[in-house]
């Protein structure tokens, strides 16, 4: 099963997306966007940048857990992973985003 982007709306009227792997696990989450169109542009940016390994930046949380962010060409963060238990698991997450994002279908769950 292929990955998919899910567009969601929040109680305050803003939009965000999650990229899910084929198994349904969230592998990347976006910031909050003011409009659905801006959210869709964020998805397009993830699809474009996920194939470039140089766009991923590994980080460590204050608790010592590894995670990663995906950045656009201008350096702006366009997605962030969950926290992982190991560097190897974090790398698997990066690999999953690179594999799933380019061809992932988009599911709009907002009803807007």
- The answer to whether the Cα torsion of 90, 94, 99, 101 is positive or negative is positive
> What is the pTM assigned to this prediction?
0.92
pLDDT along the chain (112 residues), means of 10: 90 95 94 96 96 96 97 94 96 96 93 71
pLDDT of residue 1: 58
* Cα distance between residue 89 and residue 104, in whole Å: 21
Closest CA to 34 of 20, 61, 55, 13: 13
């Amino acid at each position: 099963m292929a990955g998919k982007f899910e567009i969601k709306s929040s109680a305050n009227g803003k939009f965000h997306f999650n990229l899910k792997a084929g198994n349904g696990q969230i592998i990347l989450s976006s910031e909050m966007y003011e409009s659905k169109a801006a959210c869709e542009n964020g998805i397009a940016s993830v699809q474009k940048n996920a194939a470039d390994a140089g766009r991923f930046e590994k980080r460590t949380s204050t608790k010592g857990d590894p995670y990663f962010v995906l950045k656009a060409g201008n350096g702006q963060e366009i997605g962030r992973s969950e926290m992982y238990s190991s560097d190897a698991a974090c790398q698997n997450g990066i690999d999953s985003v690179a594999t799933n994002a380019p061809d992932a279908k988009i599911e709009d769950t907002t009803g807007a």
